[in-house]
Amino acid sequence: MHAYFSGTVQGVGFRFTAEHIANNLGLTGWVKNLRDGRVELVAEGDEAMLKRFLEKLHNEMGRYIRDADVRWRGASGEFSAFDIAFDRWRE
């Protein structure tokens, strides 16, 4: 799953919340802030767990999310954990 979240999603603990939920569900991938104010997220795992992840993320952070552009694709298998990517301004 590759997603972009917009709204007031930076400076509110969004990445840390996403990391916590993903780790609890056994997902892998990363989350990072983008220069334009959005948050980008890549997550891999069982489809049911990915859907649960989105549900939990919206339950926790929905008040900050204005829009979520979520795209589903096959897993690459390249990730061993779910991490916050700190190269802050990826484009």
Among candidate residues 15, 23, 35, 59, the one labeled active-site is 15
The burial class, CB within 10 Å (0-12 / 13-18 / 19+), for 77 is exposed
Among candidate residues 23, 24, 33, 35, the one labeled active-site is 33
Question: Catalytic site residue 15?
Answer: yes
Whose tokens are 């552009």? That residue is 69
Question: Catalytic site residue 33?
Answer: yes
Is the distance from CB of 33 to CB of 15 less than 8 angstroms?
yes
Is the distance from CB of 44 to CB of 76 less than 8 angstroms?
yes
Beta bridge partners of 82: 29
Catalytic residues: 15, 33
